[in-house]
């Protein structure tokens, strides 16, 4: 996708070149049918092959508002097979033009040069971007590691296999060098052999002794050179004191971290230099290669410019530090242009790709297999045993998971969430099964009825005794009604009077059972009084039943609320959303950097001199803006975003126009990039 920006620029108004090419092919086809010549057919075939190589790229572009804009928004690239095919086609032009007196054939060869140049620009941009954009991640990695000692120590552990490999390679090279010196300076015969050693093994013994001495000397020399730092020197000269001895031990222990720090700084310096050079090349490519605007009424103007561009583009493969050598020869011919572009395809481009790839490999951050080699070794050593143990005990593990996780969650859901809420709903509906109670609803009424019957019977049986009235003068019906009414109203005066009479003659009352009967009735009365008190409490509980239900549900409500809040926080700032926030930060940072670079470009004194590094940085920020913006924006806004990016990449636009475009984009898309 990053390649699309330059392709948008190259493909602007390219329809005219296609129409002109098809017109040339049509004329040559007619001539070929009339004269039956092989040359027009040969040239036409080469052009058709070039045209088909570019066709997949063209298919991703459609006409929209007179500007070619990528609709599919997919990456635009050409593979190695396509480049090799172009190089094979240009082999026919390696010595120059194919001679012909036909002006249409000459024009078609110019068109072939234009298409070859177009492919070369796309491929060069593709190679530069693929070897520049990852360098930004490498720089960020090295900066993050160098920011703390613990990260450097971790890096030392991660790169330990590479460090050991490098040490052995250094020792081997040192030993090889010393071996040649030994072979040239002295003979192995000068080494003595033990008398007990058989003569058949003397040569092997001498070789082993020689290589052992060389390895020991090489190791000693390398360790001495590694310790040759100011701190080590001070420790070496003052080793006798106790404090300096501790410093020496500390220095030796910190040597791996010190070595890793030097290695990190060296690699970062290489990455920064490579990124600087590639950025300058990208800026040069973007500045020195104008838009491919083709006027079908004046095709020679476009084709003559292509000859000049060919002489410029080969400067990309030079060293930017020495300045780009522009071989802008105004008298350069089409034949020279074909020789140059053929040389670029066959020689300069492959060499440059290999060179920049080797530079990246040497300076890039360690691969993941080295970063996590400790984990991989641990998995390799203990993983099979742990896996076997897990498989053999899978039933126990599943049972433990079920007991401690599944049943716990299900029990919490049923007992602490569903049941309290069901009780609250039943309370609201006045469901009797939901009433909170500390006694049964029928218990008090049965106790009261029993007490009434007991008091009534006792009073009737002992009425004459209690009131000192003759039994013959008693009207049982009226007395029954009076006593019944008195007992229901809670008046137990007759019962207590009977108890007072019984106390006057307690032995007699006990023997006759009246006192025991009276006492048992009073016990029943005490029970009823307790039940009445409990009933009052029960009524209070029932009146506050909804409050108790809400209080019972409060713990589960708090837990659920906390869990929902944690999930929402995780969704906003967790592991997955942090990548979206990172993209938003990158978009805002790129827009800020792009605006800053535009301001520098607009306020510089000499505007006639092109700052290729600044142009390259602008290009990289545009690429980052396009890529990151398309990740965040919805589908309906992506086409407008690409259009605005193309406005920023236009070479004909002024810095003021681009600054206004940046402000417009900030206002338009701010809602998508806000946190």
Q: DSSP states of 363-384 as a string?
A: HSPPPHHHHTHHHHHHHHHHHH
Instruction: Find the length of the chain.
Output: 675
Query: Measured between alpha carbons, how far is 590 from 596 in angstroms, rounded to an integer?
Result: 10
Mean pLDDT value of segment 89-109: 75
Query: Measured between alpha carbons, how far is 277 from 230 in angstroms, rounded to an integer?
Result: 34
Q: Which residues does residue 64 pair with via DSSP β-bridges, in sequence order?
A: 67
Which positions ≥6 away from 638 have C-beta within 8 Å?
A: 73, 630
Where residue 269 falls among pLDDT bands split at 50, 70, 90? Answer: very high
Query: Measured between alpha carbons, how far is 205 from 221 in angstroms, rounded to an integer?
Result: 24
What dihedral do alpha carbons 655, 659, 662, 664 form, nearest 10°? Answer: -120
Query: Measured between alpha carbons, how far is 347 from 343 in angstroms, rounded to an integer?
Result: 5
Strand, helix or coil for residue 181: helix
Q: How far is CA 672 from CA 33, 131, 277, 518, 630, in A?
A: 60, 30, 34, 90, 11
Is 587:625 a contact under the CB 8 Å cutoff? yes
The model carries a pTM of: 0.66
pLDDT at 607 over 80: no
pLDDT at 187: 45
pLDDT in tens, 498-547: 777 778 777 777 777 878 888 888 888 888 778 777 777 777 767 676 67
Where residue 268 falls among pLDDT bands split at 50, 70, 90? Answer: very high
DSSP 8-state code for residue 243: H
Rg (CA), the chain: 49
Which positions ≥6 away from 105 have C-beta within 8 Å?
A: 28, 39, 40, 43, 98
pLDDT at 325: 54
For the chain, domain boundaries:
4-130+289-363, 137-185+196-268, 443-548, 577-673
Is 390:397 a contact under the CB 8 Å cutoff? yes
Is 278:317 a contact under the CB 8 Å cutoff? no
Q: Which residues does residue 70 pair with via DSSP β-bridges, in sequence order?
A: 61
Q: Dump the DSSP string for 651-674.
A: TTS-HHHHHHHHHHHHHHSHHHH-
Kindly state the tokens that stand for 83: 């480049």
pLDDT at 47: 81
Beta strands in 28-130 (DSSP E): 61-64, 67-70
Query: Measured between alpha carbons, how far is 36 from 88 in angstroms, rounded to an integer?
Result: 26
Where residue 243 falls among pLDDT bands split at 50, 70, 90? Answer: low
Query: Measured between alpha carbons, how far is 193 from 174 in angstroms, rounded to an integer?
Result: 25
Kindly state the tokens that stand for 642: 């690409």
Mean pLDDT value of segment 547-554: 75
Where residue 192 falls among pLDDT bands split at 50, 70, 90? Answer: low
pLDDT at 362: 85
pLDDT at 177: 62
């Amino acid at each position: 996708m990053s390649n699309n920006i330059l392709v948008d620029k190259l493909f602007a108004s390219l329809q005219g070149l296609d129409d002109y090419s098809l017109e040339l092919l049509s004329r040559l086809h007619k001539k070929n049918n009339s004269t039956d010549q092989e040359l027009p057919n040969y040239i036409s075939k080469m052009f058709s092959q070039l045209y088909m190589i570019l066709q997949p790229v063209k298919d991703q572009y459609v006409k929209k508002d007179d500007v070619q804009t990528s609709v599919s928004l997919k990456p635009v690239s050409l593979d190695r097979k396509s480049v090799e095919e172009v190089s094979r086609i240009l082999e026919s032009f390696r010595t120059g033009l194919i001679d012909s007196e036909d002006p249409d054939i000459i024009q078609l060869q110019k068109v072939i040069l234009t298409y070859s140049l177009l492919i070369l620009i796309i491929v060069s941009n593709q190679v530069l971007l693929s070897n520049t954009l990852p360098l930004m991640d490498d720089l960020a990695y090295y900066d993050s590691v160098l920011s703390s000692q613990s990260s450097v120590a971790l890096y030392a552990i991660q790169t330990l296999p590479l460090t050991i490999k490098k040490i052995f390679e250094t020792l081997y090279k040192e030993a090889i060098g010393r071996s040649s010196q030994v072979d040239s300076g002295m003979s192995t015969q000068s080494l003595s052999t033990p008398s007990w050693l058989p003569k058949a093994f003397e040569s092997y013994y001498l070789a082993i002794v020689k290589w052992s001495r060389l390895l020991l000397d090489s190791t000693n020399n390398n360790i001495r050179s590694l310790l040759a730092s100011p701190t080590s020197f001070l420790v070496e000269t003052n080793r006798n004191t106790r404090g300096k001895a501790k410093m020496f031990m500390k220095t030796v222990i910190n040597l791996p971290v010190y070595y890793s720090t030097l290695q990190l700084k060296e690699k970062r310096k290489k990455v920064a230099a490579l990124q600087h050079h590639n950025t300058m090349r990208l800026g040069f490519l973007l500045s020195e290669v104008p838009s491919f605007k083709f006027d079908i009424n004046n095709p020679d103007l476009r084709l003559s410019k292509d000859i000049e561009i060919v002489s410029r583009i080969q400067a990309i493969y030079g060293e930017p530090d020495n300045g780009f050598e522009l071989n802008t020869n105004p008298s350069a011919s089409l034949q020279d242009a074909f020789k140059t572009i053929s040389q670029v395809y066959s020689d300069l481009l492959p060499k440059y790709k290999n060179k920049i790839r080797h530079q990246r490999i040497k300076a890039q951050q360690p691969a993941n297999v080295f970063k996590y080699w400790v984990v991989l070794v641990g998995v390799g050593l203990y993983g099979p045993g742990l896996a076997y143990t897990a498989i053999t005990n899978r039933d126990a593990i599943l049972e433990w998971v079920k007991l401690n996780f599944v049943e716990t969650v299900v029990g919490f859901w049923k007992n602490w969430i569903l049941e309290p809420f069901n009780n609250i709903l039943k309370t609201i509906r006045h469901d009797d099964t939901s009433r909170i109670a500390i006694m049964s609803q029928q218990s008090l009424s049965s106790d009261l009825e029993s007490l009434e019957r007991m008091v009534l019977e006792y009073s009737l049986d002992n009425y004459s005794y209690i009131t000192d009235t003759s039994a013959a003068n008693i009207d049982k019906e009226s007395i029954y009604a009076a006593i019944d009414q008195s007992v229901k109203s809670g008046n137990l005066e007759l019962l207590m009077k009977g108890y007072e009479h019984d106390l006057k003659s307690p032995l007699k009352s006990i023997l006759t059972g009246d006192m025991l009967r009276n006492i048992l009735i009073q016990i029943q009365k005490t029970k009823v009084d307790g039940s009445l008190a409990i009933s009052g409490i029960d009524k209070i509980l029932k009146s506050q039943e909804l409050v108790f239900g809400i209080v019972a549900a409060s713990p589960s409500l708090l837990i659920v609320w906390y869990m929902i809040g944690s999930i929402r926080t995780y969704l906003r700032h967790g592991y997955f959303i942090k990548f979206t926030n990172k993209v938003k930060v990158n978009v805002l940072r790129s827009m800020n950097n792009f605006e800053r670079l535009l301001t520098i470009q607009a306020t510089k004194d000499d505007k006639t001199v092109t700052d290729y590094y600044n142009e390259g940085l602008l290009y990289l920020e545009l690429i980052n803006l396009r890529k990151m913006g398309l990740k965040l924006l919805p589908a309906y806004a992506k086409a407008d975003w690409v259009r605005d990016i193309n406005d920023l990449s236009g070479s004909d636009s002024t810095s003021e126009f681009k600054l206004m475009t940046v402000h417009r984009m900030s206002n338009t898309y701010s809602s998508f990039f806000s946190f």
